[in-house]
Structure 1
Amino acid sequence: MAKSRFEYVREFERENHLLQETYIVIRIDGKGFHKFSQIYEFDKPNDITAIEVLNSAALEIFKQIPDVVFAYGQSDEYSFLLKKNCKLYERREMKLITLFSSLITSAYMYHWNLTHPTNPISIEKKLPVFDARAVIYPNFDVVKDYFRWRQADCHINNLYNTTFWALVLKGEGMTTKDAETYLNGTFSKDKNEILFSKFGINYNNEPEIYKKGTIIIRELNETIMKKDIQHQQPGEEGEVSNRQLQRLEKIVKKAEIKTYHQDLITDEEFWSSRPWLSM
C-alpha cells in the first residue's frame, strides 16, 4: 500500500499482546439471551435444540482454529482453551476476542436456521449477539480450576432453573415471581427435596448434558499416540525443545474432536490421562 501523509493516524492504534508462556482462555457469552430465548420460544428449563445449536457453533470454532484444544459450554456461554504456545495473531488480545465472537455468532445463526426452518432467526425479531473476553492463566492447575468453576456454575444454575420452572409449569398456579420468592434462601438439598416431594423428579436422573454441560476436546484415542505424547515431557531442566513441540503439533493435528458430558470437578483422571492439554 502506498504511503500517504494521512498514515500518521496509525500511531493512535494500541495493541495488547497477551503474555507469552501462559494459557489463554477465550470465554464467549450471549448478550441479552434471556430476551432472545423468549422471542424464539425456548423450552424451559432447558431447550435441547438450542443447546445443540451452540454446541455445533463451538465445533465450528474447533474446525476453524487448530490452536483450540479444549472447550466447555453451558447455557449461553463457551470457554475455549488455546494451546500454551499459541502464536495466533501474535497473541493480540483484540484480534483474538473479535475473531471468536464473530465466529460463534455467525456459526450460531447458520446452525439455528439449519435446524429451525419454521422459526428462523431474523433481524425483525432479534439477532444473537455474543461478546468475548480473553484471560491468561499462569499454570495448568489454575486452568483446571477455571473449568471446574464453570461446571460448578452449570450445576448451581441448572438445579435452580429445574426447580423454578417445575414450580411455574407444574405447580399450582405459581407465577415466576411466586417461584422466585419461594426459592429465596434455599440450598441445594432443599431444591432436591422440592423436586422429589412435589413433582417426583430425582435430579440425579436428569440428563448429564443439562447438569454437567458440554466438553469438546481434541482427543488422542490411540495408545501409541498417547505414549508418544508422554515421551515429550520436559527434561531435567523443565523445558520442552522446539523439536518436541513441532512433533507434538503434528500429533495433535491427527486428533479426533470429541464431545462429552462428564465430571470435571472431582475426576482427576480426566485431566491426568490427557497430558497434551497442558503442553
Structure 2
Amino acid sequence: MANSKFEYVKLYESDDRLLPRTYIVIRVDGRGFHQFSKKYDFEKPNDLNALNCMNKAAEGVMRNVQDVFLAYGQSDEYSFVFLKDTNLFERRASKLMSTVVSTFTANYIYAWSQLFPNNPLDGNFLPTFDSRAVMYPDVQSLKDYFSWRQADCHINNLYNTTFWTLVQKGQLTPHDAQTKLIGTLSADKNEILFTDFGINYNNEPEMFKKGSILRWEKLDHKYPKNPTKRQLDKYRKSVRDAKINILHCDIIKDEQFWNDVLAEEDTAATTTPTS
C-alpha cells in the first residue's frame, strides 16, 4: 500500500548493490549433492546425463538472464559472469543471486525429466542449489578465477577416476582405495591407471577433465543504447534464437580463448541491458 503508515519497514532493507565496473560472478553449487547422487544412482566417477543436466540448466540461465556472457561448470557447480557494466537489478546482490539460482534450479528440474525419463525425481528428495556473488576488479583476476575452477575440476576428476577404477576394476573397498591414494601426486595416479588398468587418462572425455564452457555465438543484434521497444524486441529475439556453444577447452593456457571472449565482452559492455 503506497504511503501507508507501515511503509517504514522498508528502512530495514540493506543496500547490497555490488561495486560498479567490476566483473560479477554468481556461482551456483549443489546442496547435498553427494547424497543426491547416491539417491539417484549416478554413474561413477562421472555421469554423462547428470553433467548434461547441469549444462542444460546453465543454458536456461543464459537465455533468461541476458547480461551473462560466459559460464563455466563442472561437477555440481556453475559460474556465471555478467558484463562488467551491467546494471541489471541495479547490481543488487540478492536479486542477482536469487534470479540466477532459481532460474538454474527450475531448468535443472525441467531437463531432468528429459535426460532421466526412467528415473523420476522424488518429491521428498529434490535438487536444490545455493549461490554466492563475487566481484573481480580486472581481467586477470577473472581469468585466475576460472583457472582455479578448472584446475579444481582436473584435480578432482583425476582423483575420482583413479579411486573408482580401484573400486570397480581393482576390487578394492572404498576405504582401501582411499588409503592407497593418500599422499599420491598426479603422476602417481596416472601411473596406477595406466600400469594396473591400461587406462590413459589423457584419453578420458574432455568434459570430464576440463568441465564445460558456455559462450554465445555471434548475436544478430547488439543491445543498443537507449533502445526503442522495437530495438529491444529484436535484441531479445536475437538472444532467444542464438546458439550457445558448449566448449571443453583449456581455459588456463589458451590465451586466444580469452582474447576472443573479452573482445566480445568489450563490444557488448557499451550496449548492455539495464533492466
Give the TM-score category using the shorter length.
Answer: 0.7 to 0.9
Instruction: Assess if the C-alpha contact under 8 Å between 1:17 and 1:92 holds in 2.
Output: yes
What does residue range 55-134 of structure 1 map to in structure 2 within 5 Å? 55-124=55-124, 126-134=125-133
Whether 1:52 aligns to 2:52 is yes
Give the whole-Å Cα distance in 2 for the aligned partners of 1:2 and 1:139.
42
Give the whole-Å Cα distance in 2 for the aligned partners of 1:53 and 1:37.
13
The SS at the match of 2:41 is: coil
TM-score by length of 1: 0.86
The SS at the match of 2:149 is: helix
Instruction: Assess if the C-alpha contact under 8 Å between 1:154 and 1:212 holds in 2.
Output: yes
Whether 1:212 aligns to 2:210 is yes
Q: 1:152 matched to which residue of 2? A: 151
Q: 2:173 matched to which residue of 1? A: 175
Give, as a single letter, the amino acid of the residue that structure 1 aligns with 2:165: A
Q: 1:137 matched to which residue of 2? A: 136
Whether 1:34 aligns to 2:29 is no
Question: Deviation string for 1:28-63 (max 9, x for gaps)?
Answer: 000100000000000000000000011001000111
Give the whole-Å Cα distance in 2 for the aligned partners of 1:277 and 1:7.
40
Question: Deviation string for 1:195-217 (max 9, x for gaps)?
Answer: 01111100000000100100001
Give the whole-Å Cα distance in 2 for the aligned partners of 1:212 and 1:221.
26
Q: CA deviation at 1:2?
A: 3.3
Q: 1:232 matched to which residue of 2? A: none
What does residue range 230-249 of structure 1 map to in structure 2 within 5 Å? none
Q: 1:184 matched to which residue of 2? A: 182
Give, as a single letter, the amino acid of the residue that structure 2 aligns with 1:200: G
Instruction: Assess if the C-alpha contact under 8 Å between 1:70 and 1:215 holds in 2.
Output: yes
Q: CA deviation at 1:148?
A: 1.0
Runs of 4+ residues deviating >6 angstroms: none
The SS at the match of 2:134 is: strand
Give the whole-Å Cα distance in 2 for the aligned partners of 1:39 and 1:16.
37
Instruction: Assess if the C-alpha contact under 8 Å between 2:159 and 2:189 holds in 1.
Output: yes
Whether 1:276 aligns to 2:268 is no
Give the whole-Å Cα distance in 2 for the aligned partners of 1:85 and 1:160.
39
Give the whole-Å Cα distance in 1 for the aligned partners of 2:207 and 2:117.
24
Instruction: Assess if the C-alpha contact under 8 Å between 1:45 and 1:162 holds in 2.
Output: yes
Gaps of 5+ in 1: 230-241
Gaps of 5+ in 2: 270-275
The SS at the match of 2:264 is: helix
Whether 1:21 aligns to 2:6 is no
- How many aligned positions are there? 256
Taking every aligned residue pair, what percent have the same amino acid on both sides? 53
Give the whole-Å Cα distance in 2 for the aligned partners of 1:118 and 1:48.
15
Give the whole-Å Cα distance in 1 for the aligned partners of 2:250 and 2:47.
21
The SS at the match of 1:185 is: coil
Give the whole-Å Cα distance in 1 for the aligned partners of 2:110 and 2:219.
30
Instruction: Assess if the C-alpha contact under 8 Å between 2:65 and 2:100 holds in 1.
Output: no
Q: CA deviation at 1:16?
A: 0.7
Q: 1:262 aligns with which of 219, 232, 249?
A: 249
Give the whole-Å Cα distance in 2 for the aligned partners of 1:221 and 1:22.
23
Q: CA deviation at 1:218?
A: 1.5
Give the whole-Å Cα distance in 1 for the aligned partners of 2:260 and 2:22.
21
Give, as a single letter, the amino acid of the residue that structure 1 aligns with 2:153: C
Q: CA deviation at 1:255?
A: 5.7
Output the aligned Cα RMSD: 2.3
